Structure 1
Amino acid sequence: MKKKQINYLLLSLFIILHLTACGGRGDEPIPQSSSFAKGADVSWITEMEAAGRKFYNQNGTEMEAMSLLKNLGMNAIRLRVWVNPSDGWCNKQDLMVKAKRAKNLNLRIMIDFHYSDSWADPGKQNKPKAWVNYNFDELKKAVAAHTTDVLNELKLNGITPEWVQVGNETGNGMLWEDGKASVNMKKYAELSNTGYNAVKSVFPDTKVIIHLQNGYDNVLFRWLFDGLRSNGGKWDVIGMSLYPSATDWRIKNSECLDNMNDMVKRFGSEVMMCEVGMSWDIPDTCYAFLKDIIAKTKSVSNGKGIGVFYWEPECSSDWNGYSLGAFDNNGRPTAALNAFR
């Protein structure tokens, strides 16, 4: 063997040993997966378990729900977090229970900050009770403190989320009235950037998502993201929700694909379906819808479509009146979820 070959092999061995020795540090960058994210938001899961709900595979064997979803082909979990919910569910402590479980199953994790004590969505973006009387500077400080507090708790437990949402379905901003985009886009951009910067201060390589409702509505997405861009807004991923009916899902999926491709062309951003769902009692139609939206998201130009998440599939029709899950009333997954295999 020639001397140059020996030196090359020795150098290669040194690099491998060095990388191995450096593994496992809490401050190492998150390994960005190139695989398509197939996931579910299961934020209700601990509350459901506390109420006595159980989950079963198609053979009737009882299983923990995240493990069951993983067996069905999912590789990621999305978890919401509220600031100070009155019943404790989806607070920081409850989030940690679920995040640890997901980590132990080697599932990729998305954290969804609602910046509220309860649901934040297109119809309401209420400030947490403790923040109601804050002036705007105090409000930004509260966003930063809450975001870093939650993420530092994850980091302390060796959990690195691959994605973090700063706000939930913020098609008209968040933390109303201060951050209402239709009233003051600049203030919304400042609040959103405060969340963005807080995420990056704890996890520099985690991707930050801005998530809007109605993924088929290109006018809404252009208005909001043009407004953010003109006010210095920052994001890594554009997130979308999509809840079509049995009769319009083909049209909505096509419109959503057009919108995703437009967002890529317009902003160069990655795009993701952060929430999808359909009525639990039409599993075959839901399966067709899911197969199609997964395929369409994978087809987005430049490989920028990075994932699809079902919203609370573990729900059956008798849980909190929510009918868009994908489990039946016997606690078993419907055929709809075969789309994730």
Structure 2
Amino acid sequence: MIKINELVPSASMELTRMAKVIKDEGRKVYTLSIGDTHFSLPRSISSKLHSLPEISSHYGPAQGVFELRKAMAERYTGYEPDDVVIVPGLKQGFFYALEAIEKKRVAVLEPSWLGYKATCTLAGCDYIPVNTYLPNWKKTLKDIDFDVLMLCSPNNPDGGILSKNEILDLREIIASKNAWVFVDIIYERYAYGRTNLLTRLNPLLDYTKILIGNGFSKSHAMTGYRVGYLMIKDQNVRTNILLIQQNLATCASSHAQHLLTLCPDPEEISYFSEYYEGNREAVLKIFPEWSKFTPKGGFYFFVDLTIYGITDASEFCAKALMNDGIAMVPGSAYGTGFDNYVRVSFSLDRSELKEALNKLKNVIKTYYA
């Protein structure tokens, strides 16, 4: 049963709502809070909008359009189109998966995307946080009892990418418990420094109980289209996922799937990643003291505000928004023990980003120096 009283509003979406209220009052707002790109739909995709088959406005197969599943399977070693399920966003996909395997103890590497906890609540699972900023976090993980491990790489909110050794250690731990591992790689296309994330994940890809979640929201600037996909070889679990999808959503958007089938890998993807890598460097020019928090992927800095003597990030974010029109997400949204952190998104137009950061720098200098 869903414990509705345990659900809370998404912190990033709530801050975005508050920012809109302020903006509607005629005040300038700098949105450094939401996990969305500032790019429009890639031209190579939007140009296909008038080329869609008539069938795209009707129900599609619950598992997803075959051509799109085939295109996605080809990106992963050892996967076939039948191993792919197209879902209406990864939030829904992970919910399906937790329900499908009927496991109830979920360990999550924190700091983590706030949606994981909500998904566990919706699925009636026990959420077990593991703070990866503590030196003994792998021992902690090894010592606890769990059925599923959820992880994200590149990670939201700090842009961390698991090292090869960490991946090998995690495989050993989950195998010793015969546990499932859900690997969220939605920021895969934003892995900087020529990191090939799929190659790095190879030690996990042949693990029997693995589910990979990816999608098009971030990479293709299509957050509003709500199309993600799950990669899973276990036929029984995949069948259960399809049963749930058939009865809850019928299928992911046929329109979006056929559009992506016409252009699954647009040339703009590389430009998007290069642009945000440039934004990352622009952040460091204004805040060189943030170099220790430099993300390896994604488009967020997760900053420990104690470098400025600030211990309450929630209060800091509230004041910055109400007094100065700067929207950021406090670290408490991403797990226990991160009250002094703040997530700052750099997925903005660069000139807007620089303006926002210079204003933020002035706020810190004026009130917290």
Range into which the TM-score falls when normalised by the shorter chain: 0.3 to 0.5
The structure, 1 or 2, with the larger RCO (C-alpha pairs under 8 Å, 6+ apart) is 2
Q: Which has a greater percent of helix?
A: 2
Structure 1-normalised TM-score? 0.32
